[in-house]
Amino acid sequence: MVGGMSGTVQELLAAHDAQLRGRVPRVSPVGAVIEQDGPVVRTHYGTHGTVDLPDGAVPDVVALIRRQQAVFAEHGEPVEWKLYSHDQERGLGERLREAGFTAGWERAVLVAEIEDLPRPGVSSAGREVREAGAGGSRYDVHDRIRRIAAGTGPHRTSLAELEANAPQWGKLQITPADARALAGRSLWWDTMVFVLESETKVLGAAWYERVDDSEFSSLGGMTGPYPELVAALARRAGLHDRRIVAEADGALQGMLEEAGFQEITRVRTYHWYPPGSVASDRPVQRLIRDPEHDAIWNRFEDRYRFMRRNDIFDGITEPSDSVTWHLAACESPDDPLVTEIQEIVERGLRACAKPGERLYWLDWQHEGARFDPERVGGPGRPRWPGRAYPDADYHVYLTDDLRLGTFGNPREDSLCVFGDELLAEVEEDLTALLGIVLRRGGRNLGNIWEFGPPDA
């Protein structure tokens, strides 16, 4: 099959394999863990996982498959494994079926040079394409679009996955070290949703994401064969990338090929389900500008009278079961003391969480998260979301019933811990680390601040 390809198709196929297969992104999707096992790249999402095996010789395919099954069984995750028709499959498809994998859909893999795609022209009467960002302040992907997207496919990346995965410049998943490594990148624009509308009716949608460290954007999916969406995609992706990759069949494939895409190979999925129950949600779920995010903020503000003003008061009304420390001992967000504070807070929150309870991390006017404290932190697990340290913004850890949590105030440079259960776990350690407390139960103790721990 490879021998019959044109030079252009061969070039596109070579770039696809070199840049898109077997890659480990610099920033993992939110709530996911990426592991490399020899030639295999595994991604664990908590609810499912994927295997990516680039083309190449594998000494013992059967052992490789069994090892992946053992790992995913330990995580309790169903797994998807993609095989490409241009690979020398080494009998891998047959070996997967023998191991209990089930063959799924098959589609064409299509690639286009962005410069060859049409640009937006005059819209048809009453039809208009608009951009709906998948993150940040442009987060206006409404439920109608989500329902249309969920009712079509399968897609290369579903819209739900795109929204759950997309890393942003907030502190949910990206550490200061990550931010330095990604300097100059605007992750805000690394994901985008395009909506085709006729007056007030949504006709269709398409969504894409940039592929880090490559020449490619990835067309995650398109709900139908709409040329207007291809033109909008080409205009936006052309600002940064050279090529677009897509997966399609039927009428959608025909429309993409007519627009300038070329089929470079075909791909088939194989699926395996481990025994036992499967988690219904990811260990970490992004929250931003949605009803749950707004509701938890509103309840926190009402309970603790959170205010943001430039004069008399700025912060919360601290409850009777609270202690507040000054953070002046921390010289910067990278100070080792910040890491120690975080470790103490994480241990305390994990110890106080009820079985199956989800916690929240909130970052004022930025994205937050709902997370399972038993499934984050440590080897093989996603990072604990956010930090207690108020790095220029108000940071809050909170239980859903508001009984305990932390409040980091950047204006005062302080950390308040509230809830008798949590104080019993962390007060002694935080006092030893940070020194004399500022307030107890919201009442100033009259202490003079000293750097470092109190004298013995």
Confidence of residue 258 (pLDDT cuts 50, 70, 90): very high
Taking a C-beta distance cutoff of 8 angstroms, is the pair 75, 44 a contact? yes
Number of structural domains, the chain? 3
* 268 within a domain of the structure (yes/no): no
Q: In the prediction, which pLDDT does 82 show?
A: 95
292 and 428 together in one domain: yes
Of 106, 140, 161, the domain-final residue = 106
Q: In the prediction, which pLDDT does 308 show?
A: 64
93 and 149 together in one domain: no
Taking a C-beta distance cutoff of 8 angstroms, is the pair 389, 415 a contact? yes
* 279 within a domain of the structure (yes/no): no
80 and 123 together in one domain: no
416: number of Cβ within 10 Å:
24
> How would you write the chain as a 3-class SS string?
CHHHCCHHHHHHHHHHHHHHCCCCCCCCCCCCEEEEECCEEEEECCCCEEEECCCCCCCCHHHHHHHHHHHHHHHCCCEEEEEECCCCCCCHHHHHHHCCCEEEEEEEEEEEEHHHCCCCCCCCCCEEEEEEECCHHHECCCHHHHHHHHCCCCCCCCHHHHHHHCCCCCCCCCCHHHHHHCCCCCHHHCEEEEEEEECCEEEEEEEEEECCCCCEEEEEEECCCCHHHHHHHHHHHCCCCCEEEEEECHHHHHHHHHHCCEEEEEEEEEEECCCCCCCCCCCEEEECCCHHHHHHHHHHHHHHCCECCCCCCCECCCCCCEEEEECCCCCCCCCHHHHHHHHHHHHHHHHHCCCCCCEEEEECCCCEEEECCCCCCCCCCCCCCCCCCCCCCCEEEEECCCCCEEEEECCCCEEEEECHHHHHHHHHHHHHHHCCEEEECCEECCCCCCCCCCCC
Q: In the prediction, which pLDDT does 57 show?
A: 66
* 451 within a domain of the structure (yes/no): no
Question: Residue with structure tokens 């088939």?
Answer: 268
Q: In the prediction, which pLDDT does 185 show?
A: 46
When pLDDT is averaged across residues 315-344 and rounded to a whole number, the result is: 93
3-state secondary structure of 239: coil
* pLDDT-above-70 percentage for the chain: 85
- Of 23-32, 86-95, 211-220, 357-366, the range with the lowest mean pLDDT is 86-95
53 and 175 together in one domain: no
Confidence of residue 89 (pLDDT cuts 50, 70, 90): low
Q: In the prediction, which pLDDT does 136 show?
A: 37
Dist. CA 96–CA 62, nearest whole Å: 8
- Asked whether the predicted pLDDT for residue 314 surpasses 70, the reply is yes
295 and 437 together in one domain: yes
- Asked whether the predicted pLDDT for residue 196 surpasses 80, the reply is yes
163 and 214 together in one domain: yes
Q: In the prediction, which pLDDT does 165 show?
A: 82
Q: What is the pTM of this model?
A: 0.85
Domain coverage including residue 211: 112-263
When pLDDT is averaged across residues 124-133 and rounded to a whole number, the result is: 79
198 and 151 together in one domain: yes
130 and 230 together in one domain: yes
Q: What is the CATH number of the domain that holds 198?
A: 3.40.630
* 272 within a domain of the structure (yes/no): no
312 and 416 together in one domain: yes
- Asked whether the predicted pLDDT for residue 418 surpasses 80, the reply is yes
- Asked whether the predicted pLDDT for residue 451 surpasses 80, the reply is no
Q: In the prediction, which pLDDT does 98 show?
A: 96
* 289 within a domain of the structure (yes/no): yes
- Of 272-276, 305-309, 326-330, the range with the lowest mean pLDDT is 305-309
* 454 within a domain of the structure (yes/no): no
* 214 within a domain of the structure (yes/no): yes
* 33 within a domain of the structure (yes/no): yes
Question: What is the tens place of the pLDDT at every residue in 48-73?
Answer: 999 999 876 677 889 999 999 999 99
When pLDDT is averaged across residues 304-321 and rounded to a whole number, the result is: 78
Q: In the prediction, which pLDDT does 267 show?
A: 95
Residue 420 tokens read as: 């008798």
Work out the mean pLDDT of the chain and round it to a whole number.
86
Confidence of residue 134 (pLDDT cuts 50, 70, 90): very low
230 and 350 together in one domain: no
15 and 47 together in one domain: yes
Which of 15-29, 344-358, 438-452 is most confident? 344-358
- Asked whether the predicted pLDDT for residue 109 surpasses 90, the reply is yes
Of 199, 230, 263, the domain-final residue = 263
- Asked whether the predicted pLDDT for residue 173 surpasses 60, the reply is no
- Of 29-38, 137-146, 423-432, the range with the lowest mean pLDDT is 137-146
57 and 180 together in one domain: no
Of 63, 78, 106, the domain-final residue = 106
When pLDDT is averaged across residues 315-323 and rounded to a whole number, the result is: 94
Taking a C-beta distance cutoff of 8 angstroms, is the pair 287, 369 a contact? yes
When pLDDT is averaged across residues 375-379 and rounded to a whole number, the result is: 92
- Asked whether the predicted pLDDT for residue 41 surpasses 90, the reply is yes
